Structure 1
Amino acid sequence: MKILVPVKRVVDYNVKVRVKADGSGVDIANVKMSMNPFDEIATEEAIRLKEKGTATEVVAVSLGDAKCQETLRTALAMGADRAILVETGTELQPLAVAKLLRAIVEKEQPGLVILGKQAIDDDSNQTGQMLAALLGWPQATFVSKLQIEGGAAMVSREVDEGLEQLEVKLPAIVTVDLRLNEPRYASLPNIMKAKKKPIDTLKPEELGVDVAPRLQYLRFEEPPRRQAGIKVASVQDLVQKLKNDAGVL
């Protein structure tokens, strides 16, 4: 079974994101970029399935400009077999990403697609669901445990009430959550080997997909700073503060 893993290049989660002075977007000049953390978890899970003998090949896919090759090299260093870059300078929105991935899936014919549940830059949490709808495949989202048996995926997914157990027939779409695994660090030898692994480059036009944005962002603003808290001496003081100062009682 072949597993396809989409990976996204995003601002590193340790970086404090800043909005441009004119409010037109996020300032990423000279900012450290890395693989989306949820996509790291998806890549790790795909590699573990291959190590168990469940999967025969892991293919990493990224969509964006040429710099996304760095993210693909990270996936290759972790253990992916090969990579595909759909190169475009257009800012891709979730529907365009899902359509591009559908074209890649139809070309590669994987038995399973594992995605991070969301990207930490836009937090849309839409691509996996849209891809499943476009393909007409079953899906399992927010997965914290995954097991493949007899042509089906048994998953535990996190919901408000706790854990939900599902079985979905393959081929299927799975989006993963934080508690699924702990991604490995790529060793130096594997990083060197990754430089020799193939990355196929395609254009959206070759896949017959229109990636023009459907949504227009008008303005970006940083969230307001939180005001400093105060200490109160007693419950009575707390009630008075809430009633007179905060006006919530």
Structure 2
Amino acid sequence: MEILVCVKRVPDTSENEIEINNSGSDIERDDLVYSVNEWDNYAVEEAIQIRDNVGGSVTVVTVGDDESEEVLRREMAMGADNGIHLLDDAFEGSDGKGFATILKAEVEKGKYDLILTGAQADDGAGQVGGMLAAMLDYPYASLVNKIDVVDDKKIKVGREIEGGNQEMNEIQLPCVLSIQTGINEPRYVGIRGIRKVASVEIPVHAAGDLGIAPESVGEAGAKVKRADYFVPELGEGAEILEGSTDEVIEELIKRLKEKGGIK
């Protein structure tokens, strides 16, 4: 099975204190630590496990600047077979549709059975997977937390839905899936793996290579633009009850009764 996984380089929220710049137009990015998007990491791990079980190859692709190459190499060190870097000044400022347009052009250059994205990236909109599927006219499932390969023409996928429930669907290949965290446990990437792929050549495709008109993507083609960033006003803080466990429980029950929460 030929699998393509879309990955993205994003600020690592566990390593950074995110602050908004003075103009409110973006976050402060000068000193940020970056890493692969968490959801995308689960997608790569799932692709590797599928390949190991049924054969084929895993290719990771990213749209980003020069520094985004490090994300591709990390995922190749994790076990992906190939990487593709989609790099062009024309891609900067793309919205969800712009990114999907770029990725569609790359997908059509290959022959992939399965295309995986993370459920969402740093903008949190969760749009690219669905848009990409629509542009390709492929079946699509979001929030996927289970994949079972039936044969070379179809798979079964589990989806997380409202109320903590799970649904199972059978989907024809090729298809696009957006992967939810928790579908697996991404493997550790060691220094040996990173050194192994350090000198591997990664193809770079620009707008011209993909047959994309520069004005159709990037800031020029974006229909959605960031208007403002702001920090929500803080409401009244929570109160921490002090004392032993029994004292805290007793006080909590007392307050809940006073407020009519319990009788």
Length-normalised TM-score, structure 2: 0.85
> How far apart, in 1, do the equivalents of 2:18 and 2:95 lie?
20
Q: Is the 8 A contact 2:12 2:33 kept in 1?
A: yes
SS in 1 for 2:126: coil
Whether 2:9 is the aligned partner of 1:9: answer yes
Q: Write the deviation string for residues 204-249 of structure 1: whole angstroms up to 9, x where unpaired.
A: 233133213222222210122242234786346536xx9xxxxxxx
SS in 2 for 1:38: helix
Work out which of the residue numbers 181, 185, 201 in structure 1 matches 2:188.
185
Q: How much has 1:122 moved relative to structure 2?
A: 0.6
Whether 2:234 is the aligned partner of 1:225: answer yes
> How far apart, in 1, do the equivalents of 2:84 and 2:148 lie?
26
> How far apart, in 1, do the equivalents of 2:182 and 2:209 lie?
37
1:72 equivalent in structure 2: 72
SS in 2 for 1:128: helix
> How far apart, in 1, do the equivalents of 2:29 and 2:36 lie?
15
> How far apart, in 2, do the equivalents of 1:88 and 1:156 lie?
36
Uncovered stretches (5+) of structure 1, i.e. residues with no partner:
243-249
**4+ residue runs over 3 A deviation:** 230-239
Whether 2:172 is the aligned partner of 1:169: answer yes
SS in 2 for 1:137: coil
Q: How much has 1:147 moved relative to structure 2?
A: 1.1
Whether 2:237 is the aligned partner of 1:234: answer no
Q: Is the 8 A contact 1:138 1:169 kept in 2?
A: yes
Q: Is the 8 A contact 2:95 2:225 kept in 1?
A: no
Q: Write the deviation string for residues 3-34 of structure 1: whole angstroms up to 9, x where unpaired.
A: 00010010103123211111111111110000
Q: Is the 8 A contact 1:152 1:167 kept in 2?
A: yes
Uncovered stretches (5+) of structure 2, i.e. residues with no partner:
242-250
> How far apart, in 1, do the equivalents of 2:7 and 2:256 lie?
51
Q: Write the deviation string for residues 184-216 of structure 1: whole angstroms up to 9, x where unpaired.
A: 111222111111323110112331332132222
Amino acid paired to 2:101: K
> How far apart, in 1, do the equivalents of 2:12 and 2:140 lie?
28
Q: Write the deviation string for residues 67-119 of structure 1: whole angstroms up to 9, x where unpaired.
A: 10011111111011111111134122110111111111110111100111111
How do 1:58-97 residues align onto structure 2 when only pairs under 5 Å count? 58-89=58-89, 90-97=92-99
> How far apart, in 2, do the equivalents of 1:10 and 1:55 lie?
30
Amino acid paired to 2:118: G
How do 1:190-209 residues align onto structure 2 when only pairs under 5 Å count? 190-209=193-212
Between Structure 1 and Structure 2, how many residues are aligned?
A: 238
> How far apart, in 1, do the equivalents of 2:9 and 2:256 lie?
49
> How far apart, in 1, do the equivalents of 2:93 and 2:169 lie?
35
1:19 equivalent in structure 2: 20
Amino acid paired to 2:226: Y
1:43 equivalent in structure 2: 44
Q: Against the structure 1 CA distance between its residues 238 and 229, is the aligned structure 2 distance closer, same or farther, given a 3 Å change threshold?
A: farther
Query: In percent, how many aligned pairs have the same letter?
Result: 32
